[in-house]
Structure 1
Amino acid sequence: MRTLSNHIILYDAECPMCRLYTGAFVRNGLLDSNGREAYQQYSGTACTNLDWQRAVNEIALVNQATGEVTYGVESLLKVCGNALPRLAPLFRWKPLLWVASKAYAFISYNRRVIVPAPASETPFHYQPSFNVRYRVAWLLFSWILTSCILASYTGVLTVFLTKSSYWREFTICGGQIFFQAAVIFSYKKEKAWDYLGNMMTVSLAGALALLHFLLLCVWLNLGWLACALFFLLTVFLMLLEHMRRCKLLGIGYLMTASWVLYRIVILVILFSLKP
C-alpha cells in the first residue's frame, strides 16, 4: 500500500473512534508517521483557509504543500484510494460516495453518544454541531435493531414470560424512549437529545451482547437457566453503564431511577400475563 505523503489528517482527540482509525492509518502506512494531529492542538499555520467548524464536524485532510483541504468521507476515501489505487475509481463512483457520505454523517454526528468522552474542564472552542435528523435516525436505528434482538432472545425465556413477538418488544423499547424523553425534557431539556442518544446506545450494546450469547446458546445447546442468568448479568452491566453516562452528562441519578422504574413496571406486567 502506498503512503499519502505530506498530508495531515485532523481528528477529534475526545473521540475514541477517531483516535482508533486515524491511528490505524498511521500504523499501517497509509499516512506518514506524523500524518495525523488532533484538531484541538492544530495551529492551522499551514492552512489558513481551514473551515474549523466543518473540520470539527467532518474529519479534515490537509495537503501541507498546497493548503488544499478535503472533509468527511472524501478525506477517508482519498487516503484509501491512494493506498489502493486499483480501487480509486470505485471510491469516486457517485452512488458509493452518496451512501458513504450519509453513513459517515450518521456516525460522525452521533459519535459523542456512541462512545462518550469525559467532560473537559477547558473544552475546545469549537464543538461538534448537533443535527436532530441524524440523532433521530440513531434513535430509530437502535430502537428497531434492539427490538428485533430482544424478540429473539426472550423466546428462550418462555419459562418465565409469555412468548414474545417483534411488535411487543418494539412497543416496550419505544415506550422506554418516550417515557424517558418526557422525564428528561421536563428535568434538563438542554441535555435531552444527548441523554436519549446515550440511553439507546446502552440498549443497543446490551442487545448485541445478548445476540452473541444467543448464538452461543444455539451452538452449545445451553438451557434456559444459562440464558436467564446471562440476561440478568447484561441488565446489571447496562445499569452500570447507564449510571456512568449520566454522570458524564452531569444529570445525576434521576434518569437512572426512571430507567429502572420503567423496566420494573414492564417486568411486572409481563409476569402477570404469564398463565
Structure 2
Amino acid sequence: MKTLNNQTLLYDEDCPLCSLYTTGFIKAGMLDENGKKPFSCLTNEEQIFIDIKKASNEIALVDNKNKTVTYGIDSLLKVIGNSFPWMEKIGTIAPIKFFLKKLYSFISYNRKVIIPNKKENGKALQCVPSFNYKYRILYIVFATFMTALTLYNFSALLPNLPNGNFSRELILAFGQIVFQGLFLLKFDSKTILNYTGNLMTVSLFGSLILTPILILNQFLNIPEIIVLSWFGITVFIMFMEHFRRIRLLELPFYLSYTWVIYRIIALTIILSL
C-alpha cells in the first residue's frame, strides 16, 4: 500500500464502525501511524481552520502540513485513491459520487441510532451528527421495509401460523411505530424520531439474527422446533437490546414493556385470522 503521509482522519471515538475503518487504514499502511485522531481531542489551533459542525457530520481528513481539510466521501476517496488511483477515478464520476455521497450521509446522520452511546455531558467536544429529518425518516422506512421482508419469509417456516403476506408484515411493522409513539406524545418530534430510529434498528438487528435460518433453509429441512427456538431467542435478544437503548436514551422504562405488549397483541390477531 502507498502511505498517505501527514494526513489525519478525525473520527468519532464513540462509533465502532468509524474506529474500525480508520484503524484499518493505518494497519493496511494507507495512513501513517498518526493517521487517526479522536474528534474530542481537537486542539484550539485545529479548531480555527476545521469546520467543527461539518466534521461532526462528515469525517474530516486534515492535511497537517498545509492546514487544509477535506470532508466526508472526499476524505475517504483521497485516502483510498492514494493506494488505488483507479478507485478514486471511478468514485469521482458524477453519478457514482452522487450515490456515494447520499449513502455516506444516510449512514453518518443515522449512526447514533444504529449504534447509540451514553450522553457525556462533561465532554467539551462531541462528534454528534446534526439531526436530519430527511435521512432519519428514510432510515426508518428502510428498516421497516427490511424487517417486514424478513418476517414475511420467516413466517413461511412456521406452518402453524396462518399464511402470511408481505402487506401484513409491513402493516405490523408500521403499527409497532404508531403504537410505541402513543406513549411518547409528550416528547418533542426529535426525541420521538430518535427513539423510532433506535426501535427500528432493534427490529433490523432481529432480522439479521433470523437471516442465517432463512439461508440454511434453502439447503436443509430445518425442524420447526429449531425454527421456533431460534425465533424465541431472537425476541429475547431484541428485548434486552431495546431495554439497553432505552436506558442510554434516558427514556421511560415502560417503553420496553409496551414493546412486548404490542407483540402479544399482534400475535393474538395473527392467530385469530
For the aligned pair, the TM-score class normalised by the smaller chain equals: over 0.9
CA distance change for structure 1 residues 189 and 92 in 2, over 3 Å: closer, same or farther?
closer
Cα displacement string for residues 154-192 of structure 1 (whole angstroms, at most 9, x for unaligned residues)? 011121x10110000000001111111222233565521
- In the alignment, what sits opposite 1:267? 267
Does 1:97 pair with 2:97?
yes
More moved, 220-229 vs 6-15: 220-229
Q: Secondary structure at 2:10's aligned position in 1? A: strand
CA distance change for structure 1 residues 208 and 99 in 2, over 3 Å: closer, same or farther?
same
Residue pairs, 1:147-162, within 5 angstroms: 147-159=148-160, 161-162=161-162
Cα displacement string for residues 43-63 of structure 1 (whole angstroms, at most 9, x for unaligned residues)? 152573210010011100011
Aligned length: 272
Counterpart contact for 2:145–2:170, Cα < 8 Å: yes
Q: Secondary structure at 2:244's aligned position in 1? A: helix
What is the root-mean-square deviation of aligned Cα atoms in Å?
1.5
Residue pairs, 1:186-205, within 5 angstroms: 186=186, 191-205=191-205
- Identity, % of aligned positions: 38
- In the alignment, what sits opposite 2:215? 215
- In the alignment, what sits opposite 2:108? 108
How far, CA to CA, are the matches of 2:205 and 2:135 in structure 1? 19
Cα displacement string for residues 85-141 of structure 1 (whole angstroms, at most 9, x for unaligned residues)? 233321221111100000000000000010111222413445321000000000000
Q: Secondary structure at 1:122's aligned position in 2? A: coil
Superposition deviation, residue 272 in structure 1:
1.5
Partner amino acid for 2:157?
A: V
Partner amino acid for 1:88?
A: E
How far, CA to CA, are the matches of 2:68 and 2:121 in structure 1? 33
How far, CA to CA, are the matches of 1:194 and 1:150 in structure 2? 24
Partner amino acid for 1:150?
A: L
More moved, 229-238 vs 211-220: 211-220
Counterpart contact for 2:90–2:96, Cα < 8 Å: yes
Residue pairs, 1:58-73, within 5 angstroms: 58-73=58-73
Q: Secondary structure at 1:219's aligned position in 2? A: coil
Does 1:87 pair with 2:87?
yes
Residue pairs, 1:242-257, within 5 angstroms: 242-257=242-257
Counterpart contact for 1:73–1:101, Cα < 8 Å: yes
Counterpart contact for 1:62–1:68, Cα < 8 Å: yes
How far, CA to CA, are the matches of 2:254 and 2:7 in structure 1? 47
Counterpart contact for 2:11–2:59, Cα < 8 Å: yes
- In the alignment, what sits opposite 2:118? 118
Q: Secondary structure at 1:48's aligned position in 2? A: helix
Instruction: List runs of 5+ in structure 1 lacking aligned partners.
Output: none
Does 1:180 pair with 2:180?
yes
Partner amino acid for 1:255?
A: L
How far, CA to CA, are the matches of 1:61 and 1:185 in structure 2? 41
Counterpart contact for 2:39–2:125, Cα < 8 Å: no
How far, CA to CA, are the matches of 1:231 and 1:46 in structure 2? 50
Cα displacement string for residues 65-94 of structure 1 (whole angstroms, at most 9, x for unaligned residues)? 111111111101111111112333212211
Partner amino acid for 2:58?
A: E
Query: Normalization by structure 2: what TM-score?
Result: 0.95
Does 1:132 pair with 2:127?
no
Superposition deviation, residue 218 in structure 1:
3.1
Q: Secondary structure at 1:220's aligned position in 2? A: coil
